[in-house]
C-alpha cells in the first residue's frame, strides 16, 4: 500500500470518528473526491484494502439482525469504517460483536462499541502486519478519543 493510499484510508477513519461515513461506496468516493483526492487514487486505495484481505470496504458480511438491532447508527458506521480502513476483518468484527452481545441488553452507543473495538484490537495487535500496526498507532488517538 502506498503512502497516498494510507492517507485516503486515514481520511475514511476520520469520517468514521465524526460519524459521517456513508453507507455505500459511491457516496464514499464522492466525499473523498470533494476532499481533494483524485477518483482514481480513491478507487485504488479501496481496492488495495480489499485485495490485501484487510477489509471489504462496503461489501462485507452483515451482522445478524439481533446484533444490528442493538447497535446505534453511529456504532454501525464506526464498525463499517474500521473495516474500510483495514483495522477489522470478519474475525475481529465477530469478536467485537460477541463482546457486545455479552454486555447488558439494549442499545449499543458509539462509545460502547469503541471500548469493545479497542479491547479486541489491543488483545490481537501482535497478529497485525507492520504496516497496519504503524497506521493504527498513528490514528489511535483520532479513532478512540
In this predicted structure, the answer to whether residue 62 has a pLDDT above a threshold of 50 is no
For 49-68, what is the mean pLDDT? 49
For 47-57, what is the mean pLDDT? 58
In this predicted structure, the answer to whether residue 68 has a pLDDT above a threshold of 70 is no
In this predicted structure, the answer to whether residue 54 has a pLDDT above a threshold of 60 is no
Long-range contacts formed by 100-109: CB under 8 A, 24+ apart: 100/67, 100/70, 100/71, 101/66, 101/67, 101/70, 105/70, 106/70, 107/70, 107/71, 107/72, 108/70, 108/71, 108/72, 108/75, 109/72, 109/74, 109/75
Question: What pLDDT shows up at residue 142?
Answer: 64
Question: What pLDDT shows up at residue 57?
Answer: 44
Question: What pLDDT shows up at residue 60?
Answer: 41
Amino acid at each position: 500500500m502506498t503512502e497516498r493510499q494510507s492517507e485516503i484510508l486515514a481520511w475514511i477513519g476520520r469520517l468514521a470518528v465524526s460519524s459521517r461515513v456513508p453507507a455505500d461506496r459511491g457516496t464514499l468516493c464522492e466525499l473523498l473526491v470533494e476532499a481533494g483526492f483524485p477518483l482514481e487514487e480513491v478507487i485504488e486505495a479501496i481496492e488495495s484494502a480489499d485485495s490485501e484481505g484487510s477489509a471489504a470496504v462496503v461489501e462485507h458480511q452483515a451482522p445478524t439482525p439481533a446484533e444490528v438491532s442493538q447497535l446505534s447508527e453511529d456504532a454501525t458506521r464506526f464498525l463499517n469504517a474500521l473495516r474500510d480502513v483495514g483495522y477489522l476483518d470478519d474475525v475481529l468484527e465477530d469478536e467485537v460483536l460477541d463482546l457486545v452481545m455479552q454486555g447488558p441488553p439494549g442499545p449499543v452507543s458509539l462509545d460502547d462499541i469503541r471500548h469493545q473495538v479497542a479491547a479486541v484490537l489491543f488483545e490481537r495487535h501482535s497478529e497485525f502486519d507492520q504496516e497496519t500496526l504503524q497506521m493504527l498507532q498513528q490514528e489511535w488517538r483520532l479513532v478512540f478519543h
